[in-house]
């Protein structure tokens, strides 16, 4: 089911402006556009958005994040394992 910009933004807890910015810089373009001109995001687009937000939370720049998730060799399972490792390291850093 496709989601309009506001619906997609609300689902992940970001502003519409942020989602528009990601589109403008080519980080996350909508999967389709409605006949009325609305940007529409698919479930796959929302998965990618979650990955973008995760890398952002870990301190990666949007440019670095784009290079990672848009590379042809991007492996979701490897990324999840890397995410987990970085979270554990970040947690350990907070304790010290």
* Whole-number Å distance between alpha carbons of 29 and 54: 18
Other C-beta atoms lying within 10 Å of the C-beta of residue 3? 20
pTM over 0.85: no
CATH code for the domain of 8: 1.10.1660.10
What is the number of structural domains in the chain?
Answer: 1
Range of the domain at 41: 3-95
16, 17, 62, 94 from 21: Cα distances, Å: 9, 6, 11, 31
Task: Please name every residue paired with 48 in a beta bridge, in sequence order, or none if there are none.
Answer: none
Is 55:20 a contact under the CB 8 Å cutoff? no
* Residue 80 pLDDT class (50, 70, 90 cuts): confident
Instruction: Give the model's pLDDT for residue 78.
Output: 80
pLDDT digits (tens, 9 = 90+) for 21-76: 999 999 999 999 999 999 999 999 999 999 899 888 878 899 988 988 888 787 76
């Amino acid at each position: 089911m496709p989601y309009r910009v506001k619906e997609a933004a609300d689902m992940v807890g970001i502003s519409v402006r942020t989602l528009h910015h990601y589109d403008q810089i080519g980080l996350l373009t909508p999967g389709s556009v409605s006949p009325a001109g609305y940007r529409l995001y698919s479930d796959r687009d929302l998965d990618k958005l979650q990955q973008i937000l995760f890398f952002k939370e870990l301190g990666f720049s949007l440019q670095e994040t784009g290079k990672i998730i848009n590379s042809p060799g991007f492996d979701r399972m490897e990324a999840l394992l890397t995410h987990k490792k970085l979270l554990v390291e970040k947690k350990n850093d907070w304790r010290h």
